[in-house]
Amino acid sequence: MTILNKPFDTQYNTAPFSKLEEGDFLPAFKISIKKAKSEIDDIVNNKELPTFQNTIEALDYSGEELDRISSIFFNLNASETNEQIQKIAQEVSPLLSEFSNDITLNEDLFKRVKSIYDSKSELDLSTEQSTLLDKKYKSFARNGANLPEDKKETLRAIDKELSQLKLKFGEHILAETNAYEMHLTEESALDGLPEGAKEAARQLAESKNKEGWVITLDYPSYIPFMTYANNRELRKQLSTVFGSKGFKDNENDNKDIVLKIANLRFQRAQLLGYKTHAHFVLEERMAETPEKVNNFLNELLEKAKPAAMQEFEKLKGFAKDLDGIEELQKWDSAYYSEKLKQKLFDLDDEQLKPYFQLENVINGAFTVANKLFGLHFNKIDTIDKYHDDVMTYKVVDAEGELVSIFYADFFPRAGKRNGAWMTSFKPQMIKNGENERPHVSIVCNFTKPTKSKPSLLTFNEVTTLFHEFGHALHGMLANTTYPSLSGTSVFWDFVELPSQILENWCYEEETLKLFAKHYETGENIPMELIEKIKASATFNEGMQTLRQLSFGMLDMAWHGVDPSDINDVKSYEKEAFGATQLYPDVPENCMSTAFAHIFQGGYSSGYYSYKWAEVLDADAFEYFKEEGIFNKTVANKFKTYVLSQGGTENPMTLYKKFRGQEPKPEALLRRAGLIK
């Protein structure tokens, strides 16, 4: 028995990271899988007639130890991985996939679940219990419980292979990101870069015992270079490498993995009686069908494309007038967009960054959460963490009651994947009369402090922090009975509402005055800068919308069809991008081979949900604007009907309880400046 298989003897029952050894995980997984199987056997072998309590409820509370170990392990694999952890992940994933199938393909267990489901109308169930029963029944029916034995075995084999392929896909991307660096020894190569970015590049070189400057594919290094470096040839070099991750015919190539994942998902869907993987996935989404998703994407494309084309022509003309650029390329996009933005709004990130010291922005997010939901964030150093960079907080309500433990991990490092995400180490649930509070984490990759400056964020990083913090609030304020319905366990196209709505506060003077203070002088951000932030909020919005739509359409192109005839990833992708393409294609680049959201994460057939949730968040924020952005009544309704409810009810029902109406897309189009 390992430390992971016993109750944690820690304050607030937090994960004992400093006492964990990598060698603990595999045996811990095997022990907890055995325990979880025994819990399932107890349900199946119960001599009493099946009831909601002894079957559905018991099933939801089963495997608690296994879920906890999985959360800890896979979070470490994302944010503090190494070769040993990756090797364990490859061994463990098929075991977990097999265990999951052991449950959903267990005929005797399904019989008990089905007998309760069939007598549902006679049971006096609460809304939450009714939702849980539906969810449990569907988890069997949608995952092969009604299949004959031979097809069940095929399903097991597919799931096992998929779990390993997804891990391998992610490992390849991390390896490609870590393998590349641009080592510069002439300072002139960095012309145009802000001093902070230069200093960070020098510090990176020093950490690798090199002279000069080092630029990597990590976002805090890559993005400033692509945005500010005057040397077009170096931008091209960096952009081309960035865009070719997983597409180099080397040991980290993902082309075959993409084809295999797409085909296995399709075969799985067909096996279960669905036309495509997208049909299978979308049955459990607000959007419901691939047709609705494609109509939604095409409708937005129709509205956004004319604006995007105008913006692109303007950008091309600007680059030609400024530098004689005859043909605008992808590696020119961020550079000339920034230059044009500076010209039109007299605004650039370097003016803003001194007002966005990381610590102040964190406190700003906390203040917003306090004003809206009455939360207090107290920094504590008495709980374990998996890396020194991680900050830890105890979150309490107005009465001082524990709401959540909160972890925040903000800087890039070799064992951490790129991007930003929210996750949890322990879910919220009400068990044996006790409301167990969640342990929530956000992970980002922001610019590190240098010797002369603290971590100063770009405005884009500020909105990213608020976005992930919105997800965190969804997890922290969860207040449901059952773990599988708690927090962010909602329909995938509803999950981005709490995160995206919180970004809106970053553009409001009332919010910015709370935390946007110059890191040296302490003075508040000047009013004219706030005005410029608001004025520039819709800059190139048509092009940005087109970019998001292109990702959603690529996702649907892979998952809404039979992919068995696709043999060339690049040419298929090029065709999918046809309607949204602005820049010339780069032959060495491929998006699909590094599209971790859909081939590694949980967004397959769901990338459209970012835009779907934008419709929700724009409509919801209009309500706040009408009543006041810190209006307690509106905030309380949002907390009561959205943040605390998790997946206990259909999301449209919850949204209408909050808003009093269905969301209208006009709010998004108004905010984006696409309609007046």
Which residues are marked as active site? Answer: 468
> Residues 66, 33: contact at Cβ < 8 Å?
yes
DSSP 50-68: P-IIIIIIHHHHTTHHHHH
Q: Angle 57-652-647 (CA atoms, 0-180°, nearest 5)?
A: 25
> Residues 447, 461: contact at Cβ < 8 Å?
yes
Say which residue the tokens 């994942």 belong to. Answer: 261
Say which residue the tokens 């998703």 belong to. Answer: 293
- 284, with CB counted inside 10 A (0-12, 13-18, 19+), is middle
> Residues 552, 295: contact at Cβ < 8 Å?
no
Residues in the chain: 676
Say which residue the tokens 């998902």 belong to. Answer: 265
Q: Buried b vs exposed e over 485-496: b needs ≥16 C-beta within 10 Å?
A: bbbbbbbbbbbb
Of the candidates 553, 551, 593, the one whose C-alpha atom is nearest the C-alpha of residue 260 is: 593
Q: In whole angstroms, give the CA distance from residue 101 to residue 99.
A: 5
> Residues 573, 382: contact at Cβ < 8 Å?
no
> Residues 104, 75: contact at Cβ < 8 Å?
no
- Amino acid identity of residue 482, one-letter, is Y
> Residues 433, 336: contact at Cβ < 8 Å?
no
* Residue 209 CB-half CA count within 13 A: 0
Token pair belonging to 432: 């044996």
DSSP 409-430: E-S--TTS-SS-EEEEEE--EE
> Residues 167, 97: contact at Cβ < 8 Å?
no
State CA 185 to chain mean position distance.
Answer: 37
206 pairs with which residues across the strands?
none
Q: Are strands 439-443 and 402-409 parallel, antiparallel or unpaired?
A: parallel
Q: What residue spans of 508-631 are helical by DSSP H? A: 509-515, 527-536, 541-559, 569-576, 596-599, 609-627
Q: In whole angstroms, give the CA distance from residue 655 to residue 651.
A: 6
Of the candidates 424, 404, 429, 425, the one whose C-alpha atom is nearest the C-alpha of residue 482 is: 429
